[in-house]
Amino acid sequence: MRTQLFIDGRWTDPVNKGQLDVINPATEQVIHVIPKGTAEDIELAVSAARRAFDKDGWPNTTGAQRGAYLRRIAELIRERSEMLARLEVLDNGKPLPEARWDIGDAAGCFEYYAGLAEQLDDTSVVDIAISDDRFRTRVRREAVGVVGGIIPWNYPLLMASWKVAPALAAGCTIVLKPAENTSLTALELGAIVQEAELPAGVLNIVTGLGAEAGQALVSHPQVDKLAFTGSGRIGSQIMAEAAKDIKRISLELGGKSPLIVFDDADIEGAVEWIMFGIFWNQGQVCSATSRVLVQDGVYDKLLTRLIEEAKKITLGDGLKEGVLLGPLVSKQQLDQVIAAVARAQEDGAQLVAGGHRPGEFSQGYFFQPTILTEVPLDSHAWKEEIFGPVVCVRRFTTESEALTLANDSRFGLAAAVMTQDNVRADRVSAALRAGIVWINCSQPTFTEAPWGGYKQSGIGRELGKWGLENYLETKQVTTYISRDPWGWYIK
């Protein structure tokens, strides 16, 4: 495990020598320490990224050259995948099979953007038709510059790859600030890019607190673009800070995503996807379908089955075989979830499953899979993201009522619809105000498909070709090609 920052292609101690404890959330033990980078380290990292961009020629490499680095990074992630997956479990708590999945996706993300980098060689300069044949206009796509990437703790290496891969593909350089409680795999990414011989300064990794290292990165005048995934509260602060010098921003924030089950849905399938949509990664998923709306005709049956299945879920240390639900990431997160469930009950919600720290563990930030019903529409539990394994289930009668309930949220990240009626599925998916709609499923995520939210769930789209756009500027280059004098001033 790494103990230093990765700046300008080298491992270095943080200027202020500070450290942060790394706690295994399943045991509450300190298992390691990581550097507590501060504004001084961000300064060094940004100047390295600036030099790599402005002087060392990274943006002038061909897409094929950048693609080759990205493919090599993907290969090294795959070679080390078991070690990376186990580190992710120790750091974040998630079950090992989920961590393995994340690491495979992270490698896939680098491979995908390698392909897009290669395509840029053919598409980064194109002629466009204009209305005056005395001129020729070309449109060039160029890298935005130095990126500040700030990522959360729920999918540590995967979120790093969602920022780093498209930024490098576009020709940007980047300073990455991982979440303070899950930085281990991001530091391993430093070792990987070093082995891949990525030029110095192209990727810099500074661990540290959000309010120190994160804030310094956000407010740094030499950073051209900020890419952030995290809470709405911090996203809003980052947007305000970015406004001071008109930095480009992309934000992927929270959600309170609805999942609508119609009477004609396959009930067993719906129960499975509801569980996946809220218990996967302990519900610490921005797109978690945390508000389940069920039509009258199947409400009782579905709720009974959901409670039965939720109670069967095996909790435990993510490294243990057969565990489906690990601990929450931190004491702070556990306390927030406990408080949210208590508040929901005070507000009149009924607790029909879970709701407590499981008695069988004397340590670890575990919380039972939890189901709430009768949750008032104006309550905190219905409106706000809980970011834990807590689902609110509510009854509805008509399609229009379901849509009104679903869209009545300041968020709009994702939504899911369970029905066997394709016409209704199309109609409802068009009417949902969300950036991602799943039909007869919840949460499948593909590197090729756009990811991001409506309303307060964010700005911009990650993944797919949309993800690359975040890191590209658009330049018009117009040439006067006529042999005739222009004749405006000089007649």
Min dist CB 242 to ligand ADP, Å, is: 11
Report the residue closest to ligand ADP, judged by CB.
210
Of 109, 172, 286, 392, the active-site residue reads 286
Q: State in angstroms the smallest separation of the CB of 218 from ligand ADP.
A: 5
Question: Looking at beta carbons only, is 108 or 152 nearer to ligand ADP?
Answer: 152
Least distance in Å: CB of 306 to ligand ADP? 26
Least distance (Å) between residue 179 CB and ligand ADP: 4
Q: Which is nearer to ligand ADP, 151 or 416 (CB)?
A: 151
Can 441 be counted among the known catalytic residues?
A: no
Query: CA-CA-CA-CA torsion for 120, 48, 91, 467, nearest 10 degrees?
Result: -20
Instruction: Please provide residue 221's backbone torsions phi and psi, each rounded to the nearest 5 degrees.
Output: -65, -20
84/175 with CB nearer ligand ADP: 175
Choice between 214 and 412, CB closer to ligand ADP: 214
Longest dimension (CA), the chain: 92
| Three-state SS sequence of the chain | CCCCEEECCEEECCCCCCEEEEEECCCCEEEEEEECCCHHHHHHHHHHHHHHHHCCCHHHCCHHHHHHHHHHHHHHHHHCHHHHHHHHHHHHCCCHHHHHHHHHHHHHHHHHHHHHHHHHHHHCEEEECCCCCCEEEEEEEEECCEEEEECCCCCHHHHHHHHHHHHHHHCCEEEEECCCCCCHHHHHHHHHHHHCCCCCCCEEECCCCHHHHHHHHHCCCCCCEEEEECCHHHHHHHHHHHHHCCCEEEEECCCCCEEEECCCCCHHHHHHHHHHHHHHHHHCCCCCCCEEEEEHHHHHHHHHHHHHHHHHCCECCCCCCCCCECCCCCHHHHHHHHHHHHHHHHCCCEEEECCCCCCCCCCCCCCCCEEEECCCCCCHHHHCCCCCCEEEEEEECCHHHHHHHHHCCCEECEEEEECCCHHHHHHHHHHCCCCEEEECCCCCCCCCCCECCEECCEECCECHHHHHHCCEEEEEEEEECCCCCCCCCCC
Considering 188, 252, 385, 462, which one is annotated as catalytic? 252
For ligand ADP, which is the closer residue by CB, 67 or 178? 178
Would you say 62 or 231 has its CB closer to ligand ADP? Answer: 231
286 is catalytic: yes
Residues within the interface to ligand ADP (CB under 6 A):
150-152, 177, 179-180, 210-211, 214-215, 218, 230-231, 234, 237-238
Least distance to ligand ADP from the beta carbon of 8, Å? Answer: 21
CB 338, min distance to ligand ADP, A: 16
Taking the complex as a whole, the smallest distance from the CB of residue 235 to ligand ADP amounts, in Å, to 7
CB-nearer residue toward ligand ADP: 151 or 205: 151
By annotation, the residues acting in catalysis are 252, 286
